[in-house]
Amino acid sequence: MVGRSEGTALCLCAPAARAETTRVDCVVEPAQKLKIGSATLGILKSVPVNRGATVKAGDIIARLDSSVEEANVALSRAQSESTASIEAQHTRIELYKRRLDRQNQLSKGIVTQEKLDQVEADYEIGRRDLQTEILKHKLAGIELQRAEAQLELRMIRSPIRGIVTERLMSAGEFVRQDSAIFTLVQLDPLYVEAYLPVSRWKEIALGMPATVELDQPIGGTYVAKVGVVDQVFDAASGTFGVRLELANPDFKLPGGQRCKVAFPLAAGPLATAQPSEAR
């Protein structure tokens, strides 16, 4: 406010700093777009999901024929669960141990040293055979894990929570390792891509909130946060890229649409105080 009085100075009082916004064009895109294939060759046995389906991470979205792998798993499980050979070897060791104890109780004049050595050797060999059977049992367990891993490769699972946008193959088709069966997109979060002039680079910080206004027919205003600020400028256009993350837990917002984003940027004072001559 400007005031005038006798014997006092005329001054221009500066208003407090206020916030300004920079509003630029942007595009809303899915966080990921994935082509889903198979790690192994085979015939598609079933494809339980179709275009437009919502899937969670870990969901089975396709199966290859796995009759051989299932048989291998059943065989390996039976072998890993059987302990008959270990129990039989325990029984042999107990027999050898009783023989050895009896021989040791007899006088040396009745039992020859050769007979005693033979009994001791049988007992020691029995103990080592037991360790061999235990090792075989452990290896059978590892073989079961390998068979289950091979069976798991016949199951195609979704790596993300998202939506199926394309189903490229159907049951009965032959799948190669370079074949794509599905296209999946991740819509939570959505990525908002924008470009700002390099003069604003120092004013954009990670985690900064910004307002995203979607074009029609979706419309609406949403809050997103800065997730990436490019460290390399585009010299031709004098701009740098900014990526914001827009939460979309219910998949209500589609990707692939245009928008406007407004960044709150700090501005300096509009004027500075200037002393005047006293009257």
Tell me how long the chain is. 279
- Which pLDDT belongs to residue 21? 64
In angstroms, what is the C-alpha Rg of the chain? 38
Q: Reduced to 3 states, what is the DSSP secondary structure of residue 188?
A: strand
- Which pLDDT belongs to residue 95? 85
* Cβ neighbours of residue 161 closer than 8 Å, sequence gap 6 or more: 55, 56, 57, 186, 188
DSSP state of 51: T
pLDDT in tens, the chain (279 residues): 344 434 333 333 333 333 456 789 999 999 999 999 999 999 999 999 999 999 999 999 999 999 999 999 999 999 999 888 889 888 888 888 888 777 777 755 566 777 777 878 888 888 898 899 899 999 999 999 999 999 999 999 999 999 999 999 999 999 998 899 999 999 999 999 999 999 999 999 999 999 999 999 999 999 999 999 999 999 999 999 999 999 999 999 999 999 999 998 654 433 333 333 433
Give 259: exposed, middle or buried? Use CB within 10 Å, 0-12, 13-18, 19+: buried
Q: Are 92 and 126 in contact (CB under 8 A)?
A: yes
Prediction pTM value: 0.71
- Beta strand 60-64 pairing with 221-229: unpaired
Report the C-alpha dihedral over residues 11, 14, 15, 17, rounded to 10 degrees.
-170
